[in-house]
């Protein structure tokens, strides 16, 4: 449980790319959500079993 404790007392690091600036935690969350979206599209739906 101690591994989940993160100090939030300092400002986040930012990545700048031209006019775009995004914080690292926000970038990680966007990548995770895009990954879930790709998984949801690529995994097959469960099919009904024939009796």
* Secondary structure (DSSP) of 5-44: -----SPPPEEEETTEEEEHHHHHHHHHHHHHHHHHHHSP
- Across the chain, mean pLDDT equals 85
pLDDT over 70 for what percent of the chain?
84
pLDDT at 15: 94
Q: Is residue 51 part of a domain?
A: no
Please state, in angstroms and rounded to a whole number, the distance separating the CA atoms of residues 49 and 29. 37
pLDDT of residue 2: 61
For residue 49, what pLDDT band results from cuts at 50, 70 and 90?
Answer: confident
In the block, which residue shows the tokens 């009904």?
48
| 9: in domain | no
Specify if 23 maps to a domain: yes
Cα torsion through 34, 36, 41, 42, rounded to 10 = 110
Mean pLDDT for the stretch of residues 21-25: 92
> Domain containing 33: what range?
14-38
Residue 44 forms part of a structural domain: no
Count structural domains, the chain.
1
């Amino acid at each position: 449980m101690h591994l989940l404790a993160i100090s939030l007392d300092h400002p986040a690091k930012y990545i700048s790319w031209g006019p775009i600036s995004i914080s690292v935690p926000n970038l990680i969350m966007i990548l995770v959500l895009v990954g879930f979206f790709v998984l949801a599209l690529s995994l097959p739906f469960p099919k009904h079993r024939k009796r």
